[in-house]
Amino acid sequence: MKGRNYRQIKGQPYTRMKYIHGTPPPKISKFMMGDTKAQFEYRFSLVAQGPVQIRHNALEAARVAANKVLFNALGETGYKIHLRVYPHVILRENRMIATAGADRLQEGMRRAFGKPTGRAARIKTGQAILDIYVNTNALEAAKAALRVGSTKLPVTCTINQEHLIAQPPQATAA
């Protein structure tokens, strides 16, 4: 199963876990990383430039790559990462056997609904995929982490920067 086969959004999403048996769990281990309780001054977002389906292993690869860059630059408590999307869509595959003598085992397009093989998240144009929260001393590290993380995704992305906390005014001595 190749990721490029599932990139385009086609049809209705297949998401009803109640009726689906044998669905693989998502490979994403954590959705929030770093110092989750701290307040940070800046938020950097990785924003998709087009509609796409992103498989769960690509989301996990982007999260791990961005986390590694930030962890090496800032340590454990200098940042917060928030993965904003969840892979709800269940991907199916009608497996075909392509070896000699396998013609008696497969049925072609008869009963071709497919078995669940993975998960994906549907992303709209302009939707944020990954957020990184940092302070003023780590702006370049956050941009570098998002650049590395965006290479793992099957869509072109932009990096948006937002200032969250205004600095309190300095008290002057009278």
Residue 81 is assigned to a structural domain of this protein:
yes
Q: Say yes or no to pLDDT of 30 above 60.
A: yes
Segment 69-108, tens digit of pLDDT:
999 999 989 999 999 999 999 998 887 777 666 556 667 7
Residue 29 is assigned to a structural domain of this protein:
yes
* Number of structural domains the chain divides into: 1
* Percent of the chain clearing pLDDT 90 (strictly above): 61
Give residue 68's domain range. 15-93+115-163
Q: Say yes or no to pLDDT of 60 above 90.
A: yes
Segment 150-171, tens digit of pLDDT:
999 999 999 999 998 766 655 5
119 within 8 A of 24, measured Cβ to Cβ: yes
Residue 58 is assigned to a structural domain of this protein:
yes
* Percent of the chain clearing pLDDT 70 (strictly above): 87
Helix (H) or strand (E) holding 32: strand 32-34
Q: Which amino acid is at 10?
A: K
CATH number at residue 19: 3.90.1170.10
Residue 7 is assigned to a structural domain of this protein:
no
